[in-house]
């Protein structure tokens, strides 16, 4: 773990002792041919990340197919990741679920399983108000034994986390961090203002505006594509930290080209999630990091032609597939 932090203001260790910053990839969940957690692949994935200099790991998030894993699988995943990380970097665990009591149960389990922090979205399936979203996070924070990171991901949750709610939760010490996957830099700016002076760390989930987000003051990046090319995002983040905008931007542009693997798949019957996560897994399989490219049911697998197109794009973007 890097001894320095990325944020322009002097590093503050957060309200909670969690020093959240830099590159924190949201890990995919390696599965074997039967859809069971593939621990050797997971260990290689963790080493692939840490060996390339990431500053933390986010497990059981959207990229980790958390919505498709039952409670036992989630728990095993957190335990195995914590074990594989071995204290080298902090491990954040997603505790994504529809309602407060359900998230509380996940959060307690994740803390017992060794997670350094938990990451929760607003309630979904239901239609909550901002006040109810605030209550939701307050109850989770009370119940969890580890720091709480709020997660804005309207594409999945279908409600946005208002900046005013973030300001209030930050001021009251409810949250230690915020992950914003809206991709909207006007929203990110509002979150950064909301967090100002509170020690709350703001991270972007964007693959494609990571450079700009860091330049605007975001403390870190949580890019799904970081699974495939952690070294790229680490170079980008270091350059942004050093004020070298040209290098950060150049690296970002290469990563934007690489990110096209998620729109590459054209296998019939494939949904949007299967295409994106399938592409990450196919790339990791091609790179020799994981043993099986499969995603969790009911997501469909990519065709051989799609995998082949991904191989070509990896090569075009400077990566070296071993398969």
Active-site residue, 125 included: no
CB of 130 to a copy of itself, least distance (A): 8
Looking at beta carbons only, is 18 or 233 nearer to a copy of itself? 233
Cα Dmax for the chain = 52
Local structure of 220: helix, strand or coil: strand
* Smallest separation (angstroms) from a copy of itself to the CB of 127: 4
- Nearest residue (CB) to a copy of itself, 32 versus 47: 32
Catalytic (active site) residue 179 = yes
Which among 125, 151, 191, 281 is annotated as catalytic?
A: 151
| Residue with Cβ nearer a copy of itself (53 or 217) | 217
CB of 86 to a copy of itself, least distance (A): 28
User: For binding to a copy of itself (CB under 8 A), which residues are involved?
Assistant: 35, 62, 65, 67-71, 73, 96-102, 104-105, 123-133, 135-136, 139, 156-158, 183-186, 189, 206, 208-209, 212, 215-216, 245, 249, 253, 256, 268-274, 296-300
Do 92 and 56 meet the contact criterion of CB atoms below 8 Å apart? yes
8-state DSSP, 204: E
Q: How far apart are CA 244 and CA 107, in angstroms?
A: 39
The residue among 118 and 287 lying less far from a copy of itself, judged by its C-beta, is 118
- What are phi and psi for residue 235, nearest 5 degrees? -60, -45
Minimum distance, C-beta of residue 92 to a copy of itself, in the bound complex (Å)? 18
Q: Spot the catalytic one: 125, 179, 233, 281.
A: 179
- 262-266 contact pairs (CB < 8 A, 24+): 262/225, 264/306, 264/309, 264/310, 264/313, 265/302, 265/303, 265/306, 265/309, 265/310, 266/303, 266/305, 266/306
Quick count: other Cβ atoms within 10 Å of Cβ 125?
Answer: 9
Q: Which residues are catalytic?
A: 151, 179
């Amino acid at each position: 773990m890097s001894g320095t932090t990325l944020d322009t203001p002097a590093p503050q260790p957060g309200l909670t002792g969690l020093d959240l910053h830099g590159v924190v990839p949201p890990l995919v969940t390696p599965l074997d041919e039967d859809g069971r957690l593939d621990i050797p692949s997971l260990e290689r994935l963790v080493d692939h990340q840490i060996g390339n200099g990431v500053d933390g790991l986010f497990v059981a998030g959207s990229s980790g197919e958390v919505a498709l894993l039952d409670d036992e699988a989630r728990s095993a995943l957190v335990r195995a990741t914590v074990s594989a990380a071995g204290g080298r970097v902090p491990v954040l665990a997603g505790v994504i679920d529809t309602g407060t009591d359900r998230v509380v149960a996940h959060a307690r389990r994740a803390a017992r399983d060794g997670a350094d922090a938990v990451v929760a979205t607003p309630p979904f399936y239901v239609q909550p108000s901002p006040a109810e979203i605030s209550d939701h996070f307050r109850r989770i924070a009370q119940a969890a034994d580890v720091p709480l990171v709020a997660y804005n991901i309207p594409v999945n949750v279908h409600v946005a986390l208002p900046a005013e709610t973030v300001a209030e939760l930050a001021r009251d010490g409810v949250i230690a961090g915020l992950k914003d996957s809206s991709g909207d830099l006007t929203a990110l700016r509002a979150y950064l203002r909301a967090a100002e002076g509170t020690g709350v760390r703001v991270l972007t989930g964007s693959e494609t505006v990571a450079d700009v987000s860091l330049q605007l003051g975001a403390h870190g990046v949580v890019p799904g594509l970081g699974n495939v090319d952690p070294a790229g995002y680490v170079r980008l983040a270091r350059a942004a930290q050093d004020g070298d905008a040209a290098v950060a931007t150049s690296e970002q542009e290469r990563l934007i080209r690489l990110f096209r693997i998620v729109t590459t798949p054209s296998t019939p019957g494939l949904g949007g999630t299967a295409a994106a996560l399938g592409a990450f897994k196919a790339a990791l399989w091609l790179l020799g990091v994981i043993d099986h490219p499969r995603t969790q049911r009911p997501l469909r697998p990519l065709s051989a032609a799609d995998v082949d197109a991904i191989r070509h794009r990896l090569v075009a973007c400077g990566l070296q597939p071993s398969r």
